[in-house]
Amino acid sequence: MRKIAEVLRLYHQAGLSHREIARSIGASPTTVGEYLRRAKLAGLGWPLPEGADHDQLEGRLFPPTPPSTVVRPEPDWPTVHAALRHKGVTLDLLWQEYKAAQPDGYRYSWFCQTYLRWVGRLRVTLRATHAPGDKLFVDYAGPTVPVIDAATGEMRPAQIFVAVLGASNYTYCEATFTQQVPDWVGAHVRAFEFFGGVPAAVVPDNLKSGVDRPAFYEPWLNATYREMATHYGVAIMPARPHKPRDKAKVEAGVLVVERWLLARLRGQRFFSLAELNRALAALLTDLNLRPFQKLPGSRHSTFLAVDAPALRPLPEQRYEYADWKLARVGIDYHIEVDRHYYSVPYRLTREQVDVRLTVSVVEVFQRGRRIASHLRSAVPGRHTTLASHMPPAHRAVVGWDADRFTRWAERIGSHTAAVVASILAGRRHPEQGFRTCLGILRLGNEFGRARLEAACARAVALNALSYRSIHSLLKHGLDRTAPATPSTLPLLHANVRGPDYYH
């Protein structure tokens, strides 16, 4: 107010122009003109009335704006909030639609400010805006549910898998005995089937079953998990390490499952995983149908209206679980899988390949190209060989043949040569015994040729002609001891009938 009083004094008493007054008080000429205009409207000149204090002068110069008597229609904020979840919808678009329906409605700035204040009163879990069908957040709950083995009475903890769609909060959960890759991938498959479609992306935690090597920028996914994602055409976007807000949806969903499902099951006893999952499914239906507290509808109704139309359809065939492993092709052009040997084209000898294992099939890949496929066999120590994989004259690599192994064994000793000859003769194709013979002959480098010959002599006597048996004899030093001779039992004991009893 002192500056306004100075403006009045300089104008009325000193007779200065607006620009000169502005230069004197450090203000703009426009401000000086506004002060003089307000003073003229309030009937103030110079000198100011005696006894007028600061508040009185401010009240005369800046009277409060009288409240508007116009009643403007207020938007339906829950409807506005729900509409913003649709891709491409903005506050500007919703305000234009509001003004088209209500020409006397509020201006855009008031519309935005009031909406932000309304959203601020919602729960934190509802503030984030997610595009329909965009992201599915997955994790395991901390608490477990004990399942009792009806036969033994043993209790086994069941893990609770939780999946939450970002836009609608529609929730899925199930119990599995482990968090290992088969259960982890299987839970995803069943979640997609529960939702009836596939989202654009899945946001998991850095669980070892899903992410082999967690990283802030480029996490490395488990091969089976990556193959499942490729089958369904979904992107895997692991949350950043130590950034729980990246998956806040499922964190809140886990809390809801713990409080609304698991807490209600705390007094029940379950004797199978299927029984537990039936109980969870019944409570899950109630949870998804439960009305929101501060928004219209429920998880289920919002899912049907928002997420369900945006989900991509499921593929025609369900994903078949498969394990992946690395294998090195041996000199006999076979790879080992669970102690069974499968052939690959002989030109790949000593190459590293990727092996895909399902319940019934073994597939071999090199640089992403399938090079072999076999029916899976559970018989250990046997070979599955395709004739097309074999080289001419059954040679895996030039220089490796039965004669070479025989000559190598003869240089060590006759018993070693006998073991090698027996192994090569016992295979349908001699090449199938090359790997075993190579392993036995290399034991001479580790334990010495003399000991290997002695171990082979004992193996011949025991008819234990395998790599494992000979290695065990050398490892335990049994090649240095004489074979045990059967002891003669005394025949005078009353319980010994003697050979005549059986004639």
179 Cα distance to chain centroid: 11
Domain 2-61 matches domain 135-310 at the CATH topology level? no
In 3D, which of 439, 409, 195 has the Cα closest to residue 299? 195
| The two three-digit tokens of residue 198, written as one number | 């596939």
Distance CA 417, CA 430 (A): 15
In 3D, which of 50, 39, 112 has the Cα closest to residue 75? 112
Q: Quick one: CA torsion of 450, 451, 456, 458, rounded to 10 degrees? A: 120
| The two three-digit tokens of residue 127, written as one number | 């503030």
In the chain, where the domains are located? 2-61, 77-121, 135-310, 323-394, 402-480
In 3D, which of 293, 308, 296 has the Cα closest to residue 81? 296
Residues in contact with 201: Cβ distance below 8 Å, sequence separation at least 6, in sequence order? 134, 135, 136, 234, 235, 236, 237
Q: Quick one: CA torsion of 12, 14, 18, 20, rounded to 10 degrees? A: -170
| The two three-digit tokens of residue 371, written as one number | 């090079």
**The pLDDT of residue 346:** 87
Could you count the other beta carbons within 10 Å of the beta carbon of residue 135? Answer: 20
What are the DSSP calls for 423-460, one per residue?
HHHTSSSGGGGHHHHHHHHHHHHHH-HHHHHHHHHHHH
**The pLDDT of residue 67:** 62
Paired sense of beta strands 155-165 and 369-375, if any: unpaired
What are the DSSP calls for 50-75, one per residue?
TT--HHHHHHHHSPPPPPP---PPPP
3-class secondary structure for 232-270?
HCCEECCCCCCCHHHHHHHHHHHHHHHHHHHHHHCCCCE
- Residue-wise burial string across 213-223, b where 16 or more C-beta atoms lie within 10 A, e elsewhere: ebeeeebebbb
pLDDT above 70 covers a percentage of the chain that reads 86
pLDDT band at 15; cut points 50, 70, 90: confident
Backbone angles phi, psi at 418, to 5 degrees: -65, -40
Tens of pLDDT along 336-389? 988 899 999 988 888 999 999 888 899 999 888 899 999 988 888 888 888 788
Distance CA 394, CA 343 (A): 12
Out of 3.30.310.50, 2.60.120.260, 3.40.1080.10, 3.30.420.10, select the CATH number for domain 135-310: 3.30.420.10
pLDDT band at 6; cut points 50, 70, 90: confident
Distance CA 24, CA 379 (A): 104
CB 280 within 8 A of CB 263: no
pLDDT band at 59; cut points 50, 70, 90: confident
- Residue-wise burial string across 391-408, b where 16 or more C-beta atoms lie within 10 A, e elsewhere: eeebbbbeeebbeebeeb
Cα 492 to Cα 344, 375, 485, 486, 488, distances in angstroms:
63, 59, 21, 18, 12
Tens of pLDDT along 97-136? 888 888 888 889 888 888 888 887 775 444 456 788 888 8
Q: Kindly tell me the burial class for residue 245, based on how many C-beta atoms sit within 10 Å of its own C-beta (0-12, 13-18, 19 or more).
A: exposed
Tens of pLDDT along 486-499? 444 445 555 656 66
Between CA 467 and CA 408, with CA 401 as vertex, the angle to 5 degrees is: 60
**The pLDDT of residue 217:** 47
**The pLDDT of residue 353:** 92
CB 42 within 8 A of CB 49: no
Amino acid at 486: P
Average pLDDT (330-340) is 88
Tens of pLDDT along 240-281? 655 655 556 667 778 888 887 888 888 788 999 899 999 999
What number does CATH give the domain 2-61? Answer: 1.10.10
Block residue for tokens 């103030």: 44
- Global pTM reads 0.53
**The pLDDT of residue 83:** 81
Q: Kindly tell me the burial class for residue 2, based on how many C-beta atoms sit within 10 Å of its own C-beta (0-12, 13-18, 19 or more).
A: exposed
Question: Reading across the β-sheet that carries 369-375, which strands appear in turn?
Answer: 323-328, 352-357, 361-366, 369-375
Distance CA 363, CA 21 (A): 92
Radius of gyration of the CA atoms of the chain, in A: 42
Which helix (H) or strand (E) covers residue 288, if one does? helix 273-289
CB 179 within 8 A of CB 207: yes
